[in-house]
Amino acid sequence: METNAVENAVIGVQQMLSNTPEWMKTAEAMLTEFGLKLIAALLIFFVGRWVAKRIQNGLEKGMLKAHVDPVLVTFTVNMAYAALIVFIVLAALGQLGVQTTSFIAVLGAAGLAVGLALQGSLSNFAAGVMMIMFRPFKVGDYVEGGGTAGVVKAIHIFTTTLTTPDNKRVVVPNSKMMGDNITNYSAEGTRRLDLTASIGYGDSIDAATAALMDILAKDSRVLKDPAPFVGVLALADSSVNLAVRPWVKSEDYWAVSFALTEAIKKRFDSDGISIPFPQRDVHLYKHDA
């Protein structure tokens, strides 16, 4: 009897299923399939976001360990995270059956439009990245570039800030800074002064040279190695020009230049060595009528 009851129940269920309308079966199959796709899409999104966050943290730690500029680190890790999130969202939508080709095309067109609109800014950004990576100069260096010269106060992603010797702040676009020669006067730590001392043709070259070498020896800021040099530079129209070439520390350059120029004038005056100025002889001829 019990066996017959079970068999009758099974037969009843089979009859009920066989009597289920076709649209209900189709709807049930579609819901089941969509539910599985939805679960897969959610897994892709949440797991992908977790992986993207780990990649962002790892990239940030690696760049900071490599002593990359903090501004570049922040920008790079944020851009990388945003790109990963976009990729993850597209993958999740694709799992749901959404055609992502149109989204990719729209993103590409938008990226092209933004790139054309921000062409100058992007070139400044690329130049800023190169400056931060290759370090042609650092904050505190006295440099010449981009049509100006001054002490570097800040290096940003898009611009570089300089302070001129007369205390003016100049903001130079990075593309202009990297688009021409950069002269870094502070990179080597020492600089050579190129001074010229002029004496008359009637003065003794040996006496003038000895006086100049004595002046250089008395200034403690003049380096002994490399040794200073004094020699005849040119036989000019009105003077004999002597080259004065001492080496100094970069931070002493201008102070020593001013001090030596003053010392040379005073020493030549005390030793009776003339400092000629350009002159021209005019000869007058008288002709009888």
**Domains of the chain, CATH where assigned:** 22-117 (1.10.287.1260), 136-184 (2.30.30.60), 190-271 (3.30.70.100)
Helices and strands in the chain: count of H runs, count of E runs: 8, 10
CA distance 139 to 184: 11
pTM higher than 0.85 for the full model?
A: no
pLDDT at 127: 80
Cis bond before residue 226 (omega within 30° of 0): yes
- Per the listing, tokens 């009888």 go with 288
Element (H, E) at 258: helix 253-271
For residue 21, give the 3-state DSSP assignment: coil
Asked whether 130 and 160 are in contact (CB, 8 A), the reply is: no
- Return averaged pLDDT per consecutive 10 residues of the chain, 289 residues in all: 55 53 57 69 84 85 74 73 82 72 66 56 76 82 88 85 91 86 88 93 93 93 93 90 94 92 94 83 76
CA distance 30 to 36: 10
Overall size of the chain counted in residues: 289
CB atoms within 10 A of CB 16: 9
Asked whether 125 and 139 are in contact (CB, 8 A), the reply is: no
pLDDT at 19: 53
In one-letter notation, the amino acid at residue 36 is L
pLDDT at 116: 54
pLDDT at 34: 64
